[in-house]
Structures are given as C-alpha cells and as structure tokens.
Structure 1
Amino acid sequence: MATSSPMVLSMLLLASLTALLVLAPRLSPPPAAAVAAAGEEASPAAGAGAGVNGAGSNGAAEGVWGVGVGEEADDLRLFRRAALEAAAAEDAKAGPPKVAFLFLTNSDLTFAPLWERFFAGNEARLTVYVHADPAARLRLPATPSFRGRFVAAKPTRRADASLIAASRRLLAAALLDDPANAYFALLSQHCAPLHSFQRLYAALFPPPIPTGHRQNHRQPRPPSYIEVLTGEPQMPSRYVARGETAMLPEVPYDRFRIGSQFFTLARRHAVLVVRERRLWRKFRVPCLPEMAQDLCYPEEHYFPTLLDMADPAGVARYTLTRVNWTDSVAGHPHTYTAPEVTPRLIAELRESNHTHPHMFARKFAPDCLGPLMAIADTVIFKD
C-alpha cells in the first residue's frame, strides 16, 4: 500500500492541474464586471489601460509586428470567458432586450451631451461601453451615461488590426456585463444619432410575427446590420495588401469582402466575433509597407468577411451608419462642419435604399455640437 502512495498522489495532482486549467478562465474575476471604473476627477483614459504595461505594449514583438498583431493572454482569456458566459447566460435574461452602444475613440467624446439627450428616459433598454486609446488625453469630464463605462483598453492605430482587437474587446465586455444586451452598435466619437432612441429600438426589435404569417414555426432570427460588399474596384489590391498568398487557404479571393467599419451586430454574431480565431490569424498580419497607407484597412475587411462566410443569410448587408465618401481625403470620409448642420442635412443623411433609414452618421467635426444640439428636439429626435 505504501509503495502505491506516490502514484496515487501523482494522479491526484495531475487531475487537480487539469481541472485548474479548464476552470481558470471562469474563476478569474472580471475586470470590474468587465468594465473598468473611471473616476470622476481623473481622465477616463487613466483607468482604461488595466492589464497593460506603462507603454501599452506587449514587448519587443510589437515593434516588429505592429500594435494589433500580438494576441496577449489577457485578451484570449477575456474572449474565451465572454463566449462561454454568453452561452451560459441565454436562460438568464430578464427584462427587455437592450442595445449596447460601443464607442471606439482616441479623443474626447465631444458629442456626449447629444448622446445624453438621445439616451434620456431609455436607460432600462440600453448600455454604454467605451474603448479609449490609453495614449489619448481626454480633457472633457465624462457625462453620466459614460461615467464608469470605460473598458480595459489597449493602443489602437489606423490601418492596423488593433482596431479589430479593440472592437472585439468592446463586444466581449458588453457580453460579460449584461445578458440582456441583444444588439451591439459600434460607433466612434465622431458619430451622431439621426433618429430618436425609440425609432432605433422599434427598428431593431419589431413586434413578433403572428404564427399564421410565418413561413415556419419559428420567429425569424434578428439580422446584423453590417455592410458587405463585393465586386468593388479596390478589392484586388486590398486582398493582396499582406502578400499575394497571405490570406490563403482560409480566405480565398472569392470569399473576401469589404464594408464599413461601423456595424450593429445581433447577439449571436457578437459571440461569433469574440470566439473566432481562424480568420483573425490572417487579418492580424501586418500589411506590406508599400500597401499600408492606402490599401490596409483590416477593420473594414475582417468583420464583413467573417460574417459573410459564417452566416451569409443572417446579415442585412448594409450598415445603419451613414458615411459620405464623395470627397474623401487620405482615406478619411467627408467631415461635416458647423455651417453644414441643417435640418436638410439630417433628412439627407437619414435616406437609405434599404429596409431601415440610417440611424447614425459620421463624420462630424467638434464644432458641430452646438448646431446639432440646437435641432435635437425639433428635428433629430422628432421622428
């Protein structure tokens, strides 16, 4: 009996280590319920870099591969927990479904007062999350809806997969924070609403279809609103931006898609995004230096390609966020200034060739806040 004790102890130790590895992601405490609380006196960005070192980097590899390439262990844990807990929370939903507003920013949330007016009276049906680049110097104090809603953030950079990673962190934080979050709208600090919250909510959550009018016995699944384009003239150049065969075999050219960075995803697609690894390994690869400036927009490629490959019938193939590309400069869309903000502009931005009008628009310069607030109640929120 004594001679078997070491073997028994070894087996018990092995079993304990195995259980620890399996359960560790669920036992590790969430970062303040997946949202890093930001103090009222401090800059919100100061509390947003939890889990990141002083420079927000992941060591020497970052200098070689770019900000967005490193797949840090804390991100992997976050995404795994979000996918697991989102599935476990399906039966725990209580109350009305909510819209999660995900703000991706590297500067002040200038239009927060307008969003406060948009949110007012609807707090039970929405949540707010902000990913602020740790390098950003946010000078404006957080307004009530944004206070304490800053997620643990990492550096972002234009034309870099770090923007994909930041969007995934926002989705993961929202999935972990509230099981009632049913839609996830990605926005920037330059976005503004074009309709009232009630109009948006009615579009996202229409009344159930009566049994007699359904084609089958189940309610149709809510679609995701994301632009999915093919056949665009710039697609060949964008596809080879990392090299002629860099996307193969996971993404053949005929499955490659492009679209707007800003989307409104249904919950099942938000879970898909945070769980996905296969395509992410391709899109996180940096573009070739000669391609980076004009052809490397991974955040405009990854999401439409992934969703079109995984669930082509489940996406509406258009975005709810209007962008004006008619006079773009260096890859940036037209930026509206204060003199351009009129009731007529709002009406034009709302127009859409699809089922729903546009609900949001970008890109507005900071000086547009005053004119937008002046017509908020009489035009923007008067549906």
Structure 2
Amino acid sequence: MKKNTVERSQISTPKLPNSPIQFNDIVFYFLLFGFGLGIGITLSFFYLKDGSMDFQLNQLKVFRASVAHPQPPPPPPPTTLPVVVTQPTPPVAAQHGTPSSPTKKMRRKRRNNVKEVFEPPGSKHNMTDRMLFWRASFVPRIREIPVKRIPKVAFMFLTRGKVLLAPLWEKFFRGHEGLYSIYVHSDPSFVETMPKSSVFHDRWIPSKIARWGEMNMVQAERRLLANALLDVSNDRFVLLSESCIPLFNFSTIYDYLINSNKSFVESYDLPSPVGRGRYNTAMAPLINLEQWRKGSQWFQIDRFLAVEIIIDRTYFPVFWRHCKNECYGDEHYIPTLVDMKFPDRNAYKTLTYVDWSKGGPHPNKFRRDEVTEEFLKNLRSSTQCYYNERIVDVCYLFARKFSPNTLEKLLRLAPIVMHF
C-alpha cells in the first residue's frame, strides 16, 4: 500500500530542477522585448517629428509663393476647340551660343575712359549755377592730350528769345560739322521751336532772367561760358547777340581765332561819365578808380581766360554788390578783370563792329535799305588794324546790330560778299 502511494507521488510531482531555468528565460525575453519596443517607439517619434516639420515648411513655402505670386483664375472653358500653335525650333547656332546668341550681344563693351571725357554733354541739364561752375572749372594739368582732338569754336548767343537771323547762320555753319559748338541763352520763358534739322535745335541752355545793364547779364555770360567749357574740345569762345552777323565765311573766322595767341576783349580807360563816372568807391581797395575799365561786352577769348572768368570769386562778388543801377556791369566787369590780372593775354580790341555815330545809349540798328554789297564790303576791309605788332586787313569778324527785316538781303548777298 505504501509502495503504491510513493510511486503515485513520484509520478505526479513535476521536475523541480528545471523550474528556475524557465523563469530566467521568461524574464530575459520580457526585458529584451521591452528594450526593443522602447527603441522602436523612440525612432518612430523622431521620424514623425522630422516628417511633420518638413511638411510644415513645405506648406509654408507654398503659402508664401501663392501670396507673392497669386495664380490667375483658370480661364473659362473654350466654346470652340483650341488652336495649337507650334513654336519654331531655334536654329542650332543659337542653341550652342555662337555669335548670334543673346549672350554675346549682352557682353559689356570695353570702356574708353579717355574718349568719354571728350564726348560733349547735352545742352540740357539740371545743374544749379554752383554745380555747373564747379564742373566747368576742371582743368587738366598735363597739356599733352592722349587722343586725337580737333579744336572747336564755341558760338554763344545771348538773346531774348529766338536767334533772329538764324537762317543766315545756318548757311554760315553748313558743311563745317565738328568744328563748332552752339549755345543759346534766352529768357527762361522762351520755348524753343527750331526744327530738328536746324543747327540751333536743342542748343538752348538752362537760363535765368538777364536784363541789360544789370549784373545778372554778366552772370548769363558766365553761364554760357560754363556750359561751353563742359565740352573739352572747345578752344575759343565767341559771345554774340541775336542781331549779330558774320562778315566772313566759317573757314576764315575759324582759322583766325584758332591760330590767335591772344584773346579779344575791348578794355580801355575812359575818363567820362560813361567810363570812370560809373565807378563806385565802395569797390576800393580791391578795385581802385585807376583800375576801372570799359569795353564792349561782346568778346572772343581762349579757354584759359574762359576758365578764369567763371572761377573768379574775388572780383565778381564786389561787382555784384556795388555795380548797380547806371553802372552797366556787362561793359566793365570782364574788361576790368582782364586788364588787372591777364593783360599779356589780351589783344585789347573787339572783333565785333558796331556803329555809335548816331549817339545814344545803344548803337545804330541797320535797316533793310542800308544793307548793300558796298556796305558789307566796307565793314570787312575799310579800315586796317594793328594786331600782334603788325598791320592786318581783318579788323572785324562780326557786326551788329541788324534788324530782322535785313535777313532776306543778307541771304542774297552772303554768297557774293561773305563767300558762304
């Protein structure tokens, strides 16, 4: 009986030595599973985080692009079948960047800095007088010019409006392009109406009101000089009135001026009411009565003297303050300045003829019946003049004052007498 009980108990009792091993395996697998699960969750978290960030950035870019460049609304559906246009295939040469390609054409050309200096600016600009005079005062210190340069004569017209005898001057300038420049200073209210074919077209400079006898007339002359000095090819500067005519053809006048070693400013001491009588004692001691000079406002000067006139900050302010009313600064400022500072550079004569025989504050104005072939020939050669220590046959290159009704006769006589 006992034997059966023992055997039964041995059969029903599990094997105790294997139990600790199975428990350890379970714990190990559990820990391994938990570790793997943790790594998977962590990796999933970072993946989802980065993916959502990129998605948000992409959405933000799309939103900004849509705001900056909104897409147009879709076109309405066509009522007819659309026509398909086939674009021609570009030539092979254009595809491979040959000389016909835009890339070659858009290449910047090499700048010629010296040539840019000699390119004359347009007559129209927005510079103030202060800016203009500063810009025009530039003077090269090296005399040798690095490029081939043809000197020009600057013809500066001081007018009320249009150039009254413009057709005559058109004939005078014809065929001599590149040897002259033209500048016109008129009343600022005047509107230019010259055709594009005219040599006077677009040659009006920015101007201000200038009244005869006042210092703003002198400032107008200086303004003309400053504008003409912007063209570095201008070597001689001629101031002319609206009623002035040339007495010779262009070649004769050009050669005479370019080859002259003097400027032509009339300047003399006149002990009379219209001379010394206009002097203001407030100008002393900078300008004394013995230094006061009178002369014609119509001058022909070289580039050196033109620069000196516009940079003058010593004598011009004195004239501006004290030469008023009956002083007539346009007849005294430049004659006095040149005689005081540059007497050796001046020929002390004018090249513009005027007739004072009838008296009065203004010279005689020639009418149509006075203009004859003999009259013009007398103006050209009736009197011999002393110049450069020798007698010359040419006394005057220009003459004034001619009324507008003389234009027709002047045009008819110019080829015969003046040879142009």
Q: Is the 8 A contact 2:215 2:323 kept in 1?
A: no
For residues 92 and 169 of structure 1, the distance between their equivalents in structure 2, rounded to whole angstroms, comes to 29
SS in structure 2 of the partner of residue 81 of structure 1: helix
* 320, 323, 333: which one aligns with 1:284: 320
For residues 274 and 205 of structure 1, the distance between their equivalents in structure 2, rounded to whole angstroms, comes to 21
For residues 224 and 107 of structure 1, the distance between their equivalents in structure 2, rounded to whole angstroms, comes to 28
For residues 246 and 198 of structure 1, the distance between their equivalents in structure 2, rounded to whole angstroms, comes to 46
* 334, 351, 354: which one aligns with 1:320: 351
Post-superposition offset of 1:287: 4.6
Q: Which residue number corresponds to residue 70 of structure 2?
A: none
Q: Is the 8 A contact 1:89 1:179 kept in 2?
A: no
- Mapping 1:149-168, distance limit 5 Å: 149-168=203-222
Amino acid at match of 1:354: Y
Tell me whether 129-138 or 373-382 shows the greater mean CA deviation.
129-138
For residues 223 and 232 of structure 1, the distance between their equivalents in structure 2, rounded to whole angstroms, comes to 26
Q: Which residue number corresponds to residue 345 of structure 1?
A: 375
Post-superposition offset of 1:354: 3.3
Amino acid at match of 2:418: I
Per-residue CA deviation, residues 73-121 of structure 1 (Å, 9 max, x unaligned), is: x212211111125668973663321100000111321211111111111
Q: Is the 8 A contact 1:262 1:319 kept in 2?
A: yes
For residues 231 and 239 of structure 1, the distance between their equivalents in structure 2, rounded to whole angstroms, comes to 11
For residues 88 and 147 of structure 1, the distance between their equivalents in structure 2, rounded to whole angstroms, comes to 35
Amino acid at match of 2:136: A
For residues 93 and 166 of structure 1, the distance between their equivalents in structure 2, rounded to whole angstroms, comes to 32
Per-residue CA deviation, residues 41-97 of structure 1 (Å, 9 max, x unaligned), is: xxxxxxxxx56xxxxxxxxxxxxxxxxxxxxxx212211111125668973663321
Tell me whether 130-139 or 313-322 shows the greater mean CA deviation.
130-139
For residues 323 and 237 of structure 2, the distance between their equivalents in structure 1, rounded to whole angstroms, comes to 28
Q: Is the 8 A contact 2:213 2:328 kept in 1?
A: yes
Q: 1:305 and 2:344 equivalent?
A: no
For residues 248 and 357 of structure 1, the distance between their equivalents in structure 2, rounded to whole angstroms, comes to 36
Q: Which runs of 4+ in 1 moved over 4 A?
A: 85-90, 137-143
Q: Which residue number corresponds to residue 124 of structure 2?
A: 36
Tell me whether 78-87 or 249-258 shows the greater mean CA deviation.
78-87
Post-superposition offset of 1:139: 6.1
SS in structure 1 of the partner of residue 315 of structure 2: helix
* 137, 152, 157: which one aligns with 1:103: 157
**Alpha-carbon distance change, 35 to 138 in structure 1, aligned in 2, over 3 angstroms:** closer
**Alpha-carbon distance change, 381 to 285 in structure 1, aligned in 2, over 3 angstroms:** farther
TM-score by length of 2: 0.65
Q: Which residue number corresponds to residue 145 of structure 2?
A: 91
Post-superposition offset of 1:332: 1.2
Higher relative contact order structure (alpha carbons within 8 Å, sequence separation ≥ 6): 1
For residues 287 and 142 of structure 1, the distance between their equivalents in structure 2, rounded to whole angstroms, comes to 41
- Could you say which structure has the larger radius of gyration? 2
Q: Which residue number corresponds to residue 38 of structure 2?
A: none
**Alpha-carbon distance change, 125 to 153 in structure 1, aligned in 2, over 3 angstroms:** same
Per-residue CA deviation, residues 284-338 of structure 1 (Å, 9 max, x unaligned), is: 12555xxx2xx32101100111111111011000011001111143x11100011
* 76, 80, 84: which one aligns with 2:134: 80
SS in structure 2 of the partner of residue 165 of structure 1: helix
Q: 1:367 and 2:397 equivalent?
A: no
Q: 1:235 and 2:288 equivalent?
A: no
- Mapping 1:11-50, distance limit 5 Å: 33=121, 35-36=123-124
Q: Is the 8 A contact 1:106 1:132 kept in 2?
A: yes
* 199, 221, 224: which one aligns with 1:145: 199
Q: Which residue number corresponds to residue 10 of structure 1?
A: none
Post-superposition offset of 1:232: 4.2
**Alpha-carbon distance change, 323 to 147 in structure 1, aligned in 2, over 3 angstroms:** same
For residues 230 and 188 of structure 1, the distance between their equivalents in structure 2, rounded to whole angstroms, comes to 24
Amino acid at match of 1:103: F
Q: Is the 8 A contact 1:107 1:136 kept in 2?
A: yes
For residues 146 and 138 of structure 2, the distance between their equivalents in structure 1, rounded to whole angstroms, comes to 14
Post-superposition offset of 1:341: 0.5
Q: Is the 8 A contact 1:112 1:143 kept in 2?
A: no
For residues 317 and 122 of structure 1, the distance between their equivalents in structure 2, rounded to whole angstroms, comes to 29
Q: Is the 8 A contact 1:185 1:265 kept in 2?
A: yes
**Alpha-carbon distance change, 371 to 110 in structure 1, aligned in 2, over 3 angstroms:** same
Q: Which residue number corresponds to residue 354 of structure 1?
A: 386
Unaligned runs of 5+ in 2: 1-119, 388-393
For residues 206 and 223 of structure 2, the distance between their equivalents in structure 1, rounded to whole angstroms, comes to 8
Per-residue CA deviation, residues 152-176 of structure 1 (Å, 9 max, x unaligned), is: 1111111100111111111111111
**Alpha-carbon distance change, 117 to 90 in structure 1, aligned in 2, over 3 angstroms:** farther
SS in structure 2 of the partner of residue 99 of structure 1: strand
Q: 1:226 and 2:265 equivalent?
A: yes
RMSD: 2.2
Post-superposition offset of 1:150: 1.1
Post-superposition offset of 1:201: 1.6
Matched residues, number: 292
- Mapping 1:167-178, distance limit 5 Å: 167-176=221-230, 178=231
For residues 338 and 87 of structure 1, the distance between their equivalents in structure 2, rounded to whole angstroms, comes to 50
For residues 173 and 33 of structure 1, the distance between their equivalents in structure 2, rounded to whole angstroms, comes to 9
Per-residue CA deviation, residues 175-206 of structure 1 (Å, 9 max, x unaligned), is: 11x21110000001110000111111221233
For residues 321 and 96 of structure 1, the distance between their equivalents in structure 2, rounded to whole angstroms, comes to 25
Aligned-residue sequence identity (percent) comes to: 37
Q: Which residue number corresponds to residue 175 of structure 2?
A: 121
Amino acid at match of 1:247: M
